[in-house]
């Protein structure tokens, strides 16, 4: 007898249930269902035999006199088991002018559902148009999250000072035919793991060998991939419909619990390899969009609770640029966000979170920025999240920019100023030298106050949003025709430089300069003070052919072409060796427990120009030299940055009597393998000056006698 047959026989056994915990909780002999709605008059729990069914096998009406406590609707049903497909219908006032958008025909996802099943006939249009959408609606699935053997696994808790982040897209990382990920089992049964959590597991040895210590995954919460123009799809995943369920398409097994287990297999495998898992999370908006959007979950459950509304409730606030904004500082939504974060730490063992458009979370229910946002303080002070990595994208789409000023003590920040200023310096912008000095030293004007650590700044020059590193040195302008938005999408402020020719070229001089610029960017990212982040494929010069907003391109434009690893083996080797250099010289840059200002004082950092003790910080300057001496161990480093269009010779600092000469560990103008070498094998530099070709970064080191 199947599970549905069992509960049909005994379905009369519907008890009152408990208002806690929220969601569908598996208990002995049954399941407790709970959903929040303040403004609904009636609630129907719909039980389906299969996600593709055209109507529920059973509809259980929740009597508010028996099944409602405060604004929580609940019921306990005997014989329900894991694997049960379900959804809600909410009956209440439909008054859009007042922000009430109940539609009794729509099947709704459980906001606390741990798994989501997507029918073959799924349709956003059916969720938007009048009428029932039983067969076309995504549905929640009952799962027992305790039924998993973690084999002693725990989050790694690696300090930020030892962290190198690699931002990747789960599907794009292994979906390309060149990935080498398995496609068929020995018996010939279809077994395509490309583009899945399981596919990523197969590439863990590559990540280990590269030397990164954390992967930052683009959104893996269930999202609506059809939230995109016709013929395209939401590839990035920034259109969530659930904050608890892993995205079903990232599981290669076609069952509702498969993605849940496969995500946990992936986390466990990455941890065994010493690699942390950071999730890019979207708590600022959902895929339900604006006034004309579909009713998938929150809109139909209690629109006035979950979203920021304007004009008496008739219009959605839009600080996200995607049609709606979650009401993150409303108490129920705050609880939802906290419960979601706890779940991913406690039950899914993730190590951290990067918060998309995090500044939205600092806005109150009227949209005004507040100095002590409740939800952000809740996150920082929550004991379950203590020790979890918290990274903010400290801006939003409505102009709020909080880089260097994000709330709290534990938050780290994507340093957008680092990205912009390093790009500007290497492009040759005038007036960029004073800013580049700031960025190399950890942005002390931004992060030097109080007790902030050197690692407060997450340093990056590329991420999923914008040009890849290859395209940054290949295109002067975006080429977004494939997005079908008439070129209106994507930033026009890329600060890129094509090195003389727009697009790919076989010209050896231009290609050589581009390769050098790529290495310049990588050196400044990995060796500046802060926590470095690399973009998937930059280590092999992945291209998107000038598209700087590939959010809707689930195709080879976005997927990582692994054949590039052979084509650009020198860049891959450069990144790998540079990470090793970073680890070798960690002591001069990151003394644990020091604040940024303490580090700068202890390391005795000085600025220079082509001549020692004479930094040129003028508007027309394009050169900088930085020396650092660690007083505790005598390790000395000297950085030479020639952003000028001509070669220059930089004077070198004198060394103590008896010390060996300077040794060259990085010179981006040299061919591989001389461009970066193991410090133990680094050649000596005996001259008093170092000739530095145009657009070149050089790193030298020395040790005091006796060290």
> Model confidence over 188-203: pLDDT tens digits?
445 789 999 999 999 9
Whether the predicted pLDDT of 532 surpasses 60: yes
CATH number at residue 166: 3.20.20.80
Query: Do residue 371 and residue 452 come from a single domain?
Result: yes
Q: Are strands 412-414 and 623-629 parallel, antiparallel or unpaired?
A: unpaired
Q: Which of 68, 79, 63, 73 is nearest to 31 (CA)?
A: 79
**Do the domain assignments include residue 152?**
no
Whole-prediction pTM? 0.96
Q: 255 falls in which pLDDT band (50, 70, 90)?
A: confident
> Model confidence over 294-349: pLDDT tens digits?
999 999 999 999 999 999 999 999 999 999 999 999 999 999 999 999 999 999 99
- Check residue 658 and give its pLDDT: 85
Query: Do residue 582 and residue 649 come from a single domain?
Result: no
**Do the domain assignments include residue 312?**
no
- Check residue 188 and give its pLDDT: 45
> Model confidence over 262-294: pLDDT tens digits?
999 999 999 999 999 999 999 999 999 999 999
Query: Do residue 210 and residue 109 come from a single domain?
Result: no
Q: Which residues pair with 72 in a beta bridge?
A: 36, 69
- Check residue 9 and give its pLDDT: 44
Handedness of CA 95, 96, 98, 99 (dihedral sign): positive
CATH number at residue 60: 2.60.40.10
Query: Do residue 535 and residue 629 come from a single domain?
Result: no
Q: Which residues pair with 35 in a beta bridge?
A: 73
- Check residue 237 and give its pLDDT: 97
Average pLDDT over residues 474-489: 95
Q: Which of 586, 611, 630 is the last residue of a domain?
A: 586
**In this structure, what token pair is assigned to residue 346?**
């406690």
**Do the domain assignments include residue 380?**
yes
- Check residue 186 and give its pLDDT: 52
SS (H, E, C) 56-85: CCEEEEECHHHHEECCEEEEEEECCCCCCE
> Model confidence over 131-149: pLDDT tens digits?
999 999 999 999 999 999 9
**Do the domain assignments include residue 595?**
no
Query: Do residue 134 and residue 270 come from a single domain?
Result: no
In the chain, what is the straight-line distance between the N-terminal and C-terminal CA atoms, in Å? Answer: 75
List, by residue number, the catalytic residues: 356, 393
> Model confidence over 622-670: pLDDT tens digits?
999 999 988 777 789 999 999 999 999 999 999 998 888 999 999 999 9
Beta strands in 437-485 (DSSP E): 457-459
CATH number at residue 652: 2.60.40.1180
**Do the domain assignments include residue 303?**
no
Q: 11 falls in which pLDDT band (50, 70, 90)?
A: low
- C-beta neighbour count of 254 within 10 angstroms: 10
Query: Do residue 393 and residue 357 come from a single domain?
Result: yes
d(Cα 456, Cα 330) in Å, to the nearest integer?
28
Round the CA-based radius of gyration of the chain to a whole number and report it. 27
Query: Do residue 128 and residue 58 come from a single domain?
Result: yes
Residues 18 and 34: beta-carbon distance below 8 Å: yes
d(Cα 394, Cα 435) in Å, to the nearest integer?
19
- Check residue 585 and give its pLDDT: 82
Q: Which of 110, 141, 172 is the last residue of a domain?
A: 141
Q: Which residues pair with 326 in a beta bridge?
A: 307
In Å, the largest CA–CA distance within the chain is 91
**In this structure, what token pair is assigned to residue 663?**
């040794």
Whether the predicted pLDDT of 161 surpasses 50: yes
- Check residue 596 and give its pLDDT: 82
Residues 436 and 421: beta-carbon distance below 8 Å: yes
> Model confidence over 312-324: pLDDT tens digits?
999 999 999 999 9
Residues 391 and 412: beta-carbon distance below 8 Å: yes
Looking at every residue in the chain, the average pLDDT score rounds to: 94
Helix (H, G, I), strand (E, B) or coil at 681: helix
Q: 4 falls in which pLDDT band (50, 70, 90)?
A: low
Query: Do residue 547 and residue 640 come from a single domain?
Result: no
Helix (H, G, I), strand (E, B) or coil at 84: coil
**Structural domain span for residue 529:** 160-284+335-586
Domains contained in the chain, number: 3
């Amino acid at each position: 007898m199947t599970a549905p047959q069992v509960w049909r026989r005994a379905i009369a056994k519907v008890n009152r249930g408990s208002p806690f915990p929220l969601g569908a909780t598996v208990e002995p002999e049954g399941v407790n269902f709970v959903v929040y709605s303040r403004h609904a008059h009636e609630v129907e729990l719909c039980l389906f035999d299969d996600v593709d069914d055209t109507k529920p096998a059973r509809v259980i009406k929740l009597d508010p006199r028996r099944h409602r406590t405060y604004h929580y609707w609940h019921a306990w049903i005997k014989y329900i088991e894991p694997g049960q497909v379900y959804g809600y219908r909410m009956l209440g006032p439909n008054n859009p002018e007042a922000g009430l958008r109940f539609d009794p025909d729509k099947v709704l996802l459980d906001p606390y559902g741990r798994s989501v099943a997507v029918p073959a006939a799924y349709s956003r249009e059916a969720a938007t148009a009048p009428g029932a959408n039983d067969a076309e609606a995504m549905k929640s699935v009952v799962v027992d999250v305790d039924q998993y053997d973690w084999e002693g696994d725990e989050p790694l808790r690696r300090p930020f000072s030892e962290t190198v982040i690699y931002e990747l897209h789960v599907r794009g990382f292994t979906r390309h035919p060149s990935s080498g990920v398995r496609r068929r089992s020995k018996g010939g049964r279809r077994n395509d793991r490309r583009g899945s959590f399981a596919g990523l597991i197969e590439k863990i040895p590559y990540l280990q060998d590269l030397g990164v210590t954390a992967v930052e995954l683009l959104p893996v919460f269930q999202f609506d991939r059809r939230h995109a123009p016709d013929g395209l799809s939401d590839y990035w995943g920034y259109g969530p419909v659930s904050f608890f369920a892993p995205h079903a398409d990232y599981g290669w097994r076609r069952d509702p619990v498969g993605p849940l287990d496969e995500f946990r297999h992936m986390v466990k495998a990455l941890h065994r390899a010493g690699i942390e898992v950071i999730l890019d999370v979207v708590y600022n908006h959902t895929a339900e969009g604006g006034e004309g959007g579909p009713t998938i979950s929150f809109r139909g459950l209690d629109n006035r609770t979950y979203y920021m509304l304007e004009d008496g409730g008739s219009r959605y606030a839009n600080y996200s640029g995607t049609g709606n904004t979650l009401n993150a500082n409303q108490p129920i939504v705050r609880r939802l966000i906290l419960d979601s974060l706890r779940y991913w730490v406690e039950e899914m063992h993730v190590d951290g979170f990067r918060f998309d458009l995090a500044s939205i979370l600092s806005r109150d229910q009227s949209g005004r920025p507040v100095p002590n946002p409740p939800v952000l303080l809740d996150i920082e002070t929550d004991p379950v999240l203590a020790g979890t990595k918290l990274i903010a994208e400290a801006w939003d789409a409505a102009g709020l920019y909080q880089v260097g000023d994000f709330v709290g003590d534990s938050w780290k920040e994507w340093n957008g100023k680092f990205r912009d200023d390093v790009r500007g310096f290497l492009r040759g912008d005038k007036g960029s030298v004073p800013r580049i000095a700031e960025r190399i030293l950890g942005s002390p004007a931004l992060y030097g106050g109080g007790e902030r650590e050197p690692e407060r700044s997450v340093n990056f020059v590329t991420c999923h949003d914008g040009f890849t590193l290859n395209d940054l040195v290949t295109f002067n302008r975006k080429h977004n025709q494939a997005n079908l938005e008439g070129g209106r999408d994507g930033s026009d402020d890329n600060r890129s430089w094509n090195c003389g020719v727009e697009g790919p070229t076989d010209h050896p001089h231009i290609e050589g300069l581009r390769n050098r610029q790529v290495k310049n960017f990588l050196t400044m990212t990995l060796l500046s003070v802060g926590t470095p982040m690399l973009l998937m494929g930059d280590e092999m010069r992945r291209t998107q052919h000038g598209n700087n907003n590939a959010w809707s391109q689930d195709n080879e434009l976005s997927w990582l072409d692994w054949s590039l690893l052979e084509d650009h083996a020198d860049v891959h080797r450069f990144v790998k060796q540079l990470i090793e250099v970073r680890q070798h010289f960690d002591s001069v840059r990151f003394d644990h427990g020091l604040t940024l200002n303490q580090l700068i004082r202890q390391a005795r950092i000085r600025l220079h120009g082509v001549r020692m003790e004479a930094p040129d910080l003028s508007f027309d300057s394009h050169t900088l030299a930085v020396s650092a001496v660690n007083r505790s161990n005598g390790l000395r480093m000297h950085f030479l940055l020639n952003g000028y269009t001509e070669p220059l010779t930089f004077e070198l600092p004198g060394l103590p009597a008896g010390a060996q000469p300077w040794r060259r560990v990085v010179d981006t103008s040299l061919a591989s393998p001389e461009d970066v070498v193991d410090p133990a094998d680094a050649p000596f530099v005996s001259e008093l000056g170092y000739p530095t070709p145009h657009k070149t970064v050089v790193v030298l080191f020395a040790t005091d006698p006796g060290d």
